[in-house]
Amino acid sequence: MTEQSKKNESNPAGEGFMPGLAIDAVIFGFHDHQLKVLLMEYKRSKIFALPGGFIRKEEDLNSAAYRVVSERTGLQNIYLEQFYVFGDYARFDPSPMKTIMQANEFAHDDDHWLLQRFISVGYYALVDFTKVTPLPDKIFDGCNWYPLSDVPNLMQDHNQIIKKALESLQSDLDRKLVAFNLMPGEFTMNELQGLYETILGAKFLRSAFQRKMLSLGILERIAKRMSGGAHKAPYLYKFRS
């Protein structure tokens, strides 16, 4: 984020940004047989949150979402899916942001724009875990990966946002064939099956899963991974362009 954008965010009126509208991004990565999510920790407050941001007045909504995710991952080519709009009044709670602002000696009053009610547009991002360099901002202690099974208590309704994002990802696996965005360039059928089983929380028969994947016409077999005897080496695959 540019220095001018940071100044606008700290401005009590939020000049240059759309009022009352925010973006929350659920950034998924797959590593060590675990589906992981990228989370932020605010300095001196022990408050955890999803990566998020605001929409500039002369910026497209999707462009703002790409910017938010790129700033946290260091990536440019990112798969993003808008999945839900979170606007219940019950999600409005200015106390975590007040704590963050006080912990960082950020002068404010109750009329500051960051303490007002926001409607948040949820996006999920699918990235190759090995290519991400988590990048914290100056008001964050950390920007780190957490397994879905070990996500801490997050501010406001961010835990519910993750739950909704996972439900959307599960429904998109077959409907939009998005799994390749979480895989490296080359992988075995067993690794792909492990990804599907992790996301869906279910086990599949190896032969049935392989038939289903090959029938879709989206995989190209390229070589064998030479990890032992040639007769035991699994084939490598990649997704067709």
pLDDT at 3: 47
Question: Per-residue pLDDT for 7 more than 70?
Answer: no
Do residues 83 and 200 both lie within one domain?
no
Do residues 9 and 128 both lie within one domain?
yes
Do residues 71 and 142 both lie within one domain?
yes
Give the domain CATH number at 65: 3.90.79.10
Q: What is the pTM of this model?
A: 0.90
Do residues 122 and 84 both lie within one domain?
yes
Do residues 166 and 205 both lie within one domain?
no
Amino acid, res. 58: E
Q: Which tokens belong to 157?
A: 């309704």
More confident: 4 or 171: 171
Q: What's the structural domain count of the chain?
A: 2
Question: Per-residue pLDDT for 2 more than 80?
Answer: no
Return left, alpha or beta for 188; rule: phi > 0 is left, psi -120 to 50 is alpha, else beta. beta
Give the domain CATH number at 223: 1.10.10.10
Domain boundary, last residue among 180, 200, 217: 180
Do residues 53 and 7 both lie within one domain?
yes
* Domain with 76 in it: 3-180
pLDDT tens for residues 196-207? 999 999 999 999
Domain boundary, last residue among 164, 180, 196: 180
4-13, 24-33, 104-113 — most confident range: 24-33
Mean residue pLDDT across the chain: 90
Question: Residue 73 — φ and ψ, nearest 5°?
Answer: -110, -20
Question: Per-residue pLDDT for 10 more than 70?
Answer: no
Do residues 164 and 104 both lie within one domain?
yes
Give the separation between CA 95 and CA 231, rounded to whole angstroms.
61
Do residues 89 and 195 both lie within one domain?
no
Neighbours of 21 (CB within 10 A): 16
Do residues 82 and 119 both lie within one domain?
yes
Tell me which of 63-77, 180-194, 216-230 is least confident.
Answer: 216-230
pLDDT tens for residues 80-105? 999 999 999 999 999 999 998 888 87
Domain boundary, last residue among 154, 180, 206: 180
Split at pLDDT 50, 70, 90, the class of 141 is confident
Quickly list DSSP for 128-196.
Answer: -GGG------TTEEEEEEEEGGG--PBSTTHHHHHHHHHHHHHHHHHHT--GGGGS-SSEEHHHHHHHH
